[in-house]
Structure 1
Amino acid sequence: MSSPSECLAQILAEGRFHAIRSLGEECAAELHTHAKERYLALEATIPRLRRSMSRRIFELGPPVLAIYQALHHDLGVDREPALRLAEEMLHAFHRKQLHRSALDGIAMDMMFRLRPARNLLMRSLFAEEPDGFRFEQADDAGALMAFDVRACPLVSFARRHNAPEIVAMICRLDDLKPSARRGVELRRTGTLGTGAERCDFRYVAAKK
């Protein structure tokens, strides 16, 4: 598991092509500097989550916010182009992570196919953590796994820094992960990050 600061360095590196294409060489270099400065200013406000799973889910929030703040406030990029470029950089990083994490994908494939492994994961989700993610089991007989997220520290963190608009791009990464898994689809109607009252995760067997 990477730290948020390591994620920032990786997103800046993997997203450099997109930054140069949109901003030019000089401004892309300035983005690198300003994003690191913004991250250092945010670091003290990062919640100290105890559970490794919570930290892993949260880890992209601070670097994405730092990049967005650097684009929007330091470089003067308008809101929508700043969000679009930040998401392009995030996707470049995410694609590289999926490529590097082939073994993780195999492990997740096995977990979805084995009921004891699914049950173990579900139990770990529901462990209590103040100010962390709050999961609730959902009833859906047709799903391999079904749960809702009722509280999200990513949303709280972004709102605290007056940038709730960044969370949606992190939510959208979830839609990319199951596509790499054989035979499993994620069905979801909304997320807290996009203004819904819950994130409804339903992992189902894919139709052949």
Structure 2
Amino acid sequence: MSSPSERLAQILAEGRVIATRELGEACAAELHTHAKERYLALEATMPRFRSSTNRKLFELGPPVLAIYQALLHDLGVDREPALRLAEGMLLAFYRTQLNRSPLLGAAMDVVFRLKPARSLLMITLRADEPEGIRFDEASGTGALLAFDVHACPIVAFARRHGAPEIVPMICRLDDLKVKELHGIELRRTGTLGTGAERCDFRYVTAKK
């Protein structure tokens, strides 16, 4: 499992071409420096999770926030362009990760299609920590896997730093991940990151 600082380095590396195209070579180099400085300033405010579940869920929050803060406050990029650029860099990193894990889709297929594997997944996701994820399983939905998230560590962290607008770009990675599955769709009506009262995850068999 990678740490947030390692994820920051990876996002900056994979997103360098996009940053250079949008900002120019000199400003892209400045972004690299300022994002690392912003991250160091954020470190003292990060929750120290014991569980691997919360550490994994949280790992992209601080690096995305650091990049966004650097764009806004150090490079003077306006809010919407800063969000678009941060998301472009994040997507470049994430697609590379998916390409490097060709067996991920097959492994996830097994988890979603076998009831014992789904039950084990829900057990491993539970992590009783004050600032961590809180969710309830949702029964009777007809979904292969269904749960409602009521508290998310990334949402809490972003709000604490006055930047809740960064969360939706991280939420959208769930849609990319599910595309690696065969015959399974993710249906959600809302997320905490977009202002909903819950993230209602419903993984269902795709219609042919």
Q: Note the residue ranges of structure 2 that are not aligned, 5 or more in a row.
A: none
In structure 2, distance between residues paired with 1:121 and 1:154: 21
Q: Which residue of 1 aligns with 2:160?
A: 160
TM superposition shift of 1:139: 2.1
Q: Note the residue ranges of structure 1 that are not aligned, 5 or more in a row.
A: none
Superposition RMSD on alpha carbons, in Å? 0.9
For residues 104-143 of structure 1, the aligned pairs below 5 Å read 104-143=104-143
TM superposition shift of 1:107: 1.2
Q: Which residue of 2 aligns with 1:42?
A: 42
Q: Which amino acid aligns with 2:92?
A: A
Q: Which residue of 2 aligns with 1:15?
A: 15
CA contact (8 A) 2:53 2:126 kept: no
Q: Which amino acid aligns with 2:186?
A: L
Q: Which residue of 1 aligns with 2:181?
A: 181
Q: Which residue of 1 aligns with 2:88?
A: 88
1:137-173: CA deviation from partner (whole Å, max 9, x where unpaired): 1123420000000011111111111111101110111
Give the 3-state SS of the residue equivalent to 2:149 in structure 1: strand
Q: Which amino acid aligns with 1:20?
A: T
Q: Which amino acid aligns with 1:7?
A: R
CA contact (8 A) 1:191 1:200 kept: yes
Q: How many residues in Structure 1 have an aligned counterpart in Structure 2?
A: 208
CA contact (8 A) 1:125 1:135 kept: no
What is the percentage of aligned positions where both structures have the same residue?
Answer: 76
CA contact (8 A) 2:57 2:153 kept: no
Q: Which residue of 1 aligns with 2:63?
A: 63
Moved more, 89-98 or 103-112: 103-112
Q: Which residue of 1 aligns with 2:72?
A: 72
CA contact (8 A) 1:126 1:136 kept: no
In structure 2, distance between residues paired with 1:28 and 1:91: 17
1:82-116: CA deviation from partner (whole Å, max 9, x where unpaired): 00000000000010010011222221111111110
Q: Which residue of 2 aligns with 1:204?
A: 204
CA contact (8 A) 2:131 2:153 kept: yes
For residues 20-39 of structure 1, the aligned pairs below 5 Å read 20-39=20-39
Q: TM-score, normalised by structure 1?
A: 0.97
Is 1:149 matched up with 2:175?
Answer: no
Give the 3-state SS of the residue equivalent to 2:130 in structure 1: coil
Moved more, 114-123 or 104-113: 104-113
